[in-house]
């Protein structure tokens, strides 16, 4: 729209590199500060207060809720609220046995589950996935081990109704197990590469493996449930339709 403005010939050359970017940033900045920012801040503050109120209750329940949040939007607002809640608490953690250190371990482990789950699912049943998805699954191994939840975004974006609940299930299991096992860490990031800094590292890995297996199994089950309808929409006969036609 701005590019179609009639401007003097001397200004036309700087429009795409100076004027349009500046105006775009200004408009987005004003909208963020005045329209989007206030409700998002209220939401974040409310969620943070709610999580703080849970800290004095069941540790396992808190881990489950944080795991759900970390696995829901993969780097989005809920994910960031859970992560910031964990990292903020590290200031009050004297050692890895402190409650905030356990929260940080639960958050990191749960955030690793979605990319590891899709990596495992694409490796176990490659026929259920496209070539691009199989390639994305290979890179998701490293992203998941490095605590980069965004590695699962291509899968969640392509099939959110099946992928996101599967991710949340595994994340909740891992978050709850880490809190139950009592693993803790003082590093705010790092994934598997900071395993030496995590207390009870074998139990941490066990929680991560269990959550990944649960999530990957859910992903494959959800993919198989919808495989027939997807094939029919694409104009291909589903296995059920082919069996009926042979009968």
Nearest to 51 by CA among 127, 111, 103: 103
Q: Give the pLDDT confidence score for residue 56 in this predicted structure.
A: 55
Q: Give the pLDDT confidence score for residue 28 in this predicted structure.
A: 82
- Give the mean pLDDT of 146-157: 93
Measured N-to-C along each axis, helices 59-72 and 37-54 cross at an angle, to the nearest 10 degrees, of 150
Q: Quickly list DSSP for 153-171.
A: HHHHHHSHHHHHHHHHHHH
Under the banding of pLDDT at 50, 70 and 90, the label for residue 93 is confident
The conformation of residue 15, written as its DSSP 8-state character, comes to I
Instruction: Give the tens place of pLDDT for each residue, 105-144.
Output: 999 999 999 999 999 999 999 999 999 999 999 999 999 9
Nearest to 153 by CA among 188, 126, 109, 118: 118
Q: What is the pTM of this model?
A: 0.75
Instruction: Give the tens place of pLDDT for each residue, 39-82.
Output: 766 766 776 676 666 655 678 898 999 999 999 989 888 898 88
Decide: residue 235, CB within 10 A, 0-12 exposed, 13-18 middle, 19+ buried. exposed
CA distance 18 to 215: 47
What phi, psi does 95 have (nearest 5°)?
-155, 180
Q: Quickly list DSSP for 74-101.
A: SSSHHHHHHHHHHHHHGGG-SSTTSHHH
Under the banding of pLDDT at 50, 70 and 90, the label for residue 209 is very high
Nearest to 163 by CA among 203, 205, 106, 215: 215
CA distance 207 to 109: 8
Domain range list for the chain? 55-246
- Compute the chain's Rg from CA coordinates: 22
Measured N-to-C along each axis, helices 59-72 and 160-181 cross at an angle, to the nearest 10 degrees, of 150
SS3 172: helix
Q: Given the structure tokens 């959800």, which residue do they identify?
A: 222
């Amino acid at each position: 729209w701005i590019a179609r403005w009639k401007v003097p010939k001397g200004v036309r050359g700087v429009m795409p590199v100076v004027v349009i970017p500046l105006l775009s940033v200004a408009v987005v900045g004003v909208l963020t500060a005045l329209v989007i920012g206030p409700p998002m801040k209220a939401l974040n503050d409310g969620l943070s207060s709610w999580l703080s109120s849970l800290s004095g209750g069941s540790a396992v329940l808190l881990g489950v809720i944080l795991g759900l949040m970390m696995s829901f939007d993969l780097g989005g607002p809920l994910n960031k609220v859970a992560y910031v809640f964990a990292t903020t608490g590290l200031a009050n953690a004297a050692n890895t046995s402190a409650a905030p250190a356990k929260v940080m371990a639960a958050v990191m482990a749960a955030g690793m589950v979605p990319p590891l789950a899709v990596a495992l699912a694409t490796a176990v049943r490659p026929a259920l996935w496209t070539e691009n998805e199989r390639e994305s699954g290979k890179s998701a191994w490293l992203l998941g081990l490095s605590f980069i939840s965004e590695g699962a975004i291509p899968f969640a974006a392509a099939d959110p109704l099946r992928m996101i609940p599967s991710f949340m299930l595994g994340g909740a299991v891992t978050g709850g197990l880490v809190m139950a096992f009592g693993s803790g860490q003082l590093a705010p990031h790092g994934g598997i590469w900071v395993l030496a800094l995590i207390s009870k590292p074998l139990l941490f890995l066990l929680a991560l493996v269990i959550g990944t297996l649960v999530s990957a199994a859910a992903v494959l089950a959800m993919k198989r449930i919808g495989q027939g309808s997807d094939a029919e929409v694409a104009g291909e006969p589903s296995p059920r339709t082919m069996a009926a036609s042979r009968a």
